[in-house]
Structure 1
Amino acid sequence: MLDKKDQQLLIALQANARMSVADLASHISLSDTPCLRRIKKLEQASIITGYHAAINPKALKLNVLVYAFVRLNQNSASAARQFEQHVEKLTHVLECSVISGSYDYLLKIIAHDLESYEQFVKHQLGSLSCIANIESTVVLKQSFSKKQLPL
């Protein structure tokens, strides 16, 4: 389980993953070597799964965020596997979640504009034969998006 130092380390890394080990160690009142050992332990335990740059999508002209609800035409392991393998390869799909209710999946999709989203649905997503229905909800404005988990 995580102790207080591990939690402090994770909080600091979530805020700034580019902090040097020396700065992290100082921030949580440890020396460099034990701090680095803790980081490696957290990585090996798959608690830290990677380090990423936060990029402003609008700076890349990715202006449309869509949540798409997808229903498969059959509730089978092979249809789910086919769908998941296909959408994982689609670069515009940021997240894929299995959900409960009348739909099977919720996708978070980013696109340049509504026209490019339409083309994406018709030619990349909708081309899958295992899909019975897609319902899209366009985000008008994103008030906030948190990246840090509560610890």
Structure 2
Amino acid sequence: MDDVDRSILAVLEKHGRISNAELAALVGLSPSPCLRRVRRLEETGVIRGYRAEIDPAALGRSLRVFAGVRLMRHNRGDVAAFERAVVQLPEVVHVHHVTGNYDYLLQVEVADLPAYEDFHANRLADLPGVATVSSYVTMKTLSARTP
């Protein structure tokens, strides 16, 4: 990977729907070599896909909460059971296995605080192996990738 590839990735990360002609102009290539490079980056797995960024509020999920989860035990069976269950919860957008005070950090999106209270008490706390949950309500989200 060279500096041109890095430039292509930087542009695509911010503007995934840009046309090949516009991308080529921004990175200083003609369209054909630019398209070849993009296809190679896709084929080698550097570019894993393209997706739409959806506004959660438009879907009635205006409250974002980060939940730190500690498990009671860390044997393979308990960890696997928790992971199988947590990814099935539609309110859970991302699951990160982390180091530090928690075993997992979850990004949860719900309609409002009462909806999170219900989710926390009746779904999250009942998952296999959960010992504790600490919740952090998001007040504002900033994006380092937005110009």
Q: Shorter-chain TM-score: which interval?
A: 0.7 to 0.9
Q: 1:66 to 1:46 in 2, by over 3 A?
A: same
Mapped partners of 1:127, 1:78: distance in 2: 17
SS at match of 2:9: helix
Residue 143 of structure 1 and its aligned partner are, at CA, apart by 4.6
Mapped partners of 1:49, 1:143: distance in 2: 24
Residue 20 of structure 1 and its aligned partner are, at CA, apart by 1.1
Offset from partner CA, 1:48-80 (integer Å, 9 cap, x none): 111111222223332211111111111112211
Q: Which amino acid aligns with 2:4?
A: K
Mapped partners of 1:116, 1:22: distance in 2: 46
Mapped partners of 2:95, 2:141: distance in 1: 21
Q: Gapped runs of 5+ residues in structure 1?
A: none
Structure 2 equivalent of residue 146 of structure 1:
144
- What is the root-mean-square deviation of aligned Cα atoms in Å? 1.8
Structure 2 equivalent of residue 95 of structure 1:
94
* Alignment size in residue pairs: 146
SS at match of 1:54: coil
Residue 4 of structure 1 and its aligned partner are, at CA, apart by 1.2
Mapped partners of 2:103, 2:45: distance in 1: 27
Q: Gapped runs of 5+ residues in structure 2?
A: none
Structure 1 equivalent of residue 113 of structure 2:
114
> Is residue 50 of structure 1 aligned with residue 33 of structure 2?
no
TM-score by length of 1: 0.86
Mapped partners of 1:80, 1:100: distance in 2: 14
Contact 2:61 / 2:111 at 8 angstroms: preserved in 1? Answer: yes
TM-score by length of 2: 0.88
Structure 2 equivalent of residue 9 of structure 1:
8
